[in-house]
Amino acid sequence: MKDRKTIIYIIVFKKFSRVLILKNMFYRKGCMIIFFLVLTKTSSQEISGIVLDSLTKQPISFANIISNFNKNTITNEEGRFRLFKDILFTNRDSVYVSSIGYNSLTILATDLIKESKIVLSPKIIELETVIVTNREKLTAIQIINKVKENVKNIFDFDYKNKRIFRRRIIMSDFDKAMIDIKKSSIKEFDQIFMDSINETIPKKNNFYIEALYDFFGNRDPNNQKVNILKSAELLNKENEISFKTIQNKIQPIVDIKVKRDSYFKFKSGIFPIDIEREGFDFMSIDSTDNTQLEKIKNKKIKERNDFNLNHRNYIKNVSNSYLDHENKEFKFEVFRKSRKFNFRLLELSYIGYEPVYVIEYFPKSSRGKYKGRLFIHADDFALIRIDYQSIGFLRNFNFLGVFYRLDKRLVKRIFKKNENNKYELYFAENYYESSFGLDRPLKIIEKNKNVRGRRKQNQLSMQLNFTGNNKVKTEVIFIETNMIDIDDYNRVKEIDSELPVELKKYDPNFWAGYNILEPKQILKEFKVENEN
């Protein structure tokens, strides 16, 4: 077991770095789960490819990949895709590839058994000619109004069973991580010692999690159930290895200077943050101590419950984030408060044979936070896609030595028709960049209840100075959608999943037999460095 008494410094670093880099608690690791492989059935088959622009030879992101065997996906940012079929392909199976502004292609699935290059040629369209000759000429704001009018008729509000895949990537960098000792009653904990520990603190920390879900319900948040079918996480354990180094340095000092039955108080600044570890043994956990073992058991149960609750809430939120089920209208600010934006009709393009208006929007006021583009079906005025991004930073908090700023936000939503001939969310992407910092004093006070007189044993006073940044990207794709009724929904029971399987490197076999969003190359190459 890990020696708890050696983490005086570790607690300081972990307590504040967790808050600063804003990691969700449900990503904390629990116990090691036995890693297993899901082998592709011999009767199944996969196809894969990359979609390129015929002129520039650059990959085409988010191109639609639609099959006639009811397995669909989109290309990732690198133009790559992968499709799985649970039986062998025949010469009747085909894949339809389309993207806004390109001529579409239909390709036999048997021609894509090995990874293939699919080349789409740009489609040249003259906006004025098409609008004048084939349809009513509308202004951008008239198109926006028609979108708002048609939401309740063309978007689906019925009960569904959806298979959903989610990938989340967190990349954290520390620009500065310093601890200045102001006072120490343990002479071994001096500035030279802390500087040597500072050198072991990792400057980068990357984290990935992937999960597959089954969603049941309709648009009402009260009528939704989510089960986690499978999940995996990849965490760069270089961070933990550094803590092992710290532990090895601190251990001999703590063994001599700190009493076994001590506890610690943490105070920071003029508004104290007291974290009292009363009754908690910082030495190695005694396997015969039932109280400590019970605490560990309860902690693992709580981590599992938090994992399931947080993931369920996220999937429900992303499913509800764009439509108000009561008023049957979009929640996007550009539609709720259209008067605050200027609109410009850029072109009439095509996705395959479907005509799509492309409209640019930006805020009228300098206080506006977002600008973006809308892709709207020219026949039924359905919102096909929305991309928007922040203008300048969104939040800026700086108080009593704690600093946080949300520097950038990028959002993408893509919608498609389902078998009910109604539109639903098909793909969602969120990207955030943030900066953080901490410049505050901290005191660690050792106390002991079993010592007569003054309980205070030792004190360590220091100044913490951390700065860094986070990049967080989340992708969600709705792989399959099936119609269900309220009786089907009522029969579904939510079952808690175990914590994610921990992978040391990305393993494509983990998702063999499942249609997921193809990962980028950087994720495929991920592996734990210096793993012991």
Q: Quote the pLDDT of residue 442.
A: 81
Q: Quote the pLDDT of residue 410.
A: 96
Q: Which of 235, 172, 27 is nearest to 470 (CA)?
A: 172
* In contact, 284 and 3? CB cutoff 8 Å: yes
Q: DSSP assignment, residue 15?
A: H
Q: Quote the pLDDT of residue 7.
A: 37
Return the ∠ at Cα 232 (arms to 20 and 427), rounded to 5°: 80
Q: What is the mean pLDDT of residues 49-75?
A: 89
d(CA 105, CA 107): 6
Residue % of the chain over a pLDDT of 70: 76
Q: Say if residue 528's pLDDT is above 60.
A: no
Q: Quote the pLDDT of residue 145.
A: 96
Q: Say if residue 206's pLDDT is above 50.
A: yes
Q: Quote the pLDDT of residue 453.
A: 55
pLDDT per residue over 69-108, tens digit each? Answer: 878 889 998 999 988 887 888 888 888 999 988 988 998 8
Q: Quote the pLDDT of residue 114.
A: 66
d(CA 164, CA 475): 10
Q: Say if residue 329's pLDDT is above 60.
A: yes
Q: Quote the pLDDT of residue 193.
A: 82
d(CA 427, CA 51): 18
- The dihedral region occupied by 469, where left means phi > 0, alpha psi between -120 and 50, and beta the remainder, is beta
Q: What is the mean pLDDT of residues 15-43?
A: 35
Q: What is the mean pLDDT of residues 30-55?
A: 58
Least confident of 7-16, 209-218, 471-480, 504-513: 7-16
Q: Which of 229, 202, 256 is nearest to 10 (CA)?
A: 202
pLDDT band at 225 (very low <50, low <70, confident <90, very high): very high
* In contact, 433 and 172? CB cutoff 8 Å: no
d(CA 333, CA 144): 12
- DSSP letters for 334-358: HHHTGGGEEEEEEEEEEETTEEEEE
d(CA 266, CA 264): 7
Q: DSSP assignment, residue 101?
A: T
pLDDT band at 269 (very low <50, low <70, confident <90, very high): low
d(CA 53, CA 60): 6
Question: Higher-confidence residue: 59 or 300?
Answer: 59
pLDDT band at 353 (very low <50, low <70, confident <90, very high): confident
Residue 522 neighbours by CB distance under 10 Å: 13
Q: Say if residue 268's pLDDT is above 50.
A: yes
Spans of all domains in the chain: 4-65+157-524
pLDDT band at 305 (very low <50, low <70, confident <90, very high): very high
* Helix/strand/coil for 365: coil
Q: Which of 125, 24, 90, 136 is nearest to 378 (CA)?
A: 136
Looking at every residue in the chain, the average pLDDT score rounds to 80
Axis-axis angle for helices 238-257, 8-20 (nearest 10):
140
Q: Say if residue 333's pLDDT is above 50.
A: yes
- For 264, phi then psi, to 5°, come to -125, 145
Q: Which two tokens stand for residue 97?
A: 């590839």
Q: What is the mean pLDDT of residues 264-279?
A: 50
pLDDT band at 140 (very low <50, low <70, confident <90, very high): very high
Per-state percent for the chain, helix, strand, coil, to nearest 5: 25, 40, 35
Q: Say if residue 11's pLDDT is above 70.
A: no
* Class of residue 183 by CB neighbours under 10 A (exposed 0-12, middle 13-18, buried 19+): exposed
Q: What is the mean pLDDT of residues 111-122?
A: 83
* In contact, 473 and 169? CB cutoff 8 Å: yes
Amino acid identity of residue 398, one-letter, is N
Amino acid identity of residue 254, one-letter, is V
Q: Quote the pLDDT of residue 110.
A: 83
- DSSP letters for 282-332: -SPPPTT-HHHHHHHHHHHHHHHHHHHHHHHHHHHHHHHSSEETTTTEE--
pLDDT per residue over 491-511, tens digit each? Answer: 999 999 999 998 888 887 898
Q: Quote the pLDDT of residue 424.
A: 93
* Class of residue 90 by CB neighbours under 10 A (exposed 0-12, middle 13-18, buried 19+): exposed
d(CA 64, CA 61): 9
Q: How far is CA 268 from the centre of its chain?
A: 32
Q: Which two tokens stand for residue 299?
A: 């902690």
Q: Quote the pLDDT of residue 215.
A: 97
Q: Say if residue 530's pLDDT is above 90.
A: no
Q: Say if residue 185's pLDDT is above 50.
A: yes
Burial 185-207 (b: 16+ CB within 10 A, else e): ebeebeeebbeebbeebbeebbb
Q: Say if residue 472's pLDDT is above 90.
A: yes
d(CA 409, CA 156): 28
Q: Which two tokens stand for residue 400?
A: 């009593």
Q: Which two tokens stand for residue 68?
A: 């006639």
d(CA 356, CA 347): 8
* In contact, 239 and 202? CB cutoff 8 Å: yes
Q: What is the mean pLDDT of residues 2-14?
A: 40
Q: Say if residue 404's pLDDT is above 70.
A: yes
Q: Which of 103, 105, 86 is nearest to 94 (CA)?
A: 105
Q: What is the mean pLDDT of residues 197-223?
A: 87
| Number of residues assigned to the chain | 532
pLDDT band at 412 (very low <50, low <70, confident <90, very high): very high
Q: Which of 258, 252, 253 is nearest to 447 (CA)?
A: 258
Q: Which two tokens stand for residue 192?
A: 């030279």
Q: What is the mean pLDDT of residues 152-173?
A: 93
Q: Say if residue 260's pLDDT is above 70.
A: no
d(CA 338, CA 334): 5
Give the chain's largest Cα–Cα span: 95
pTM: 0.77
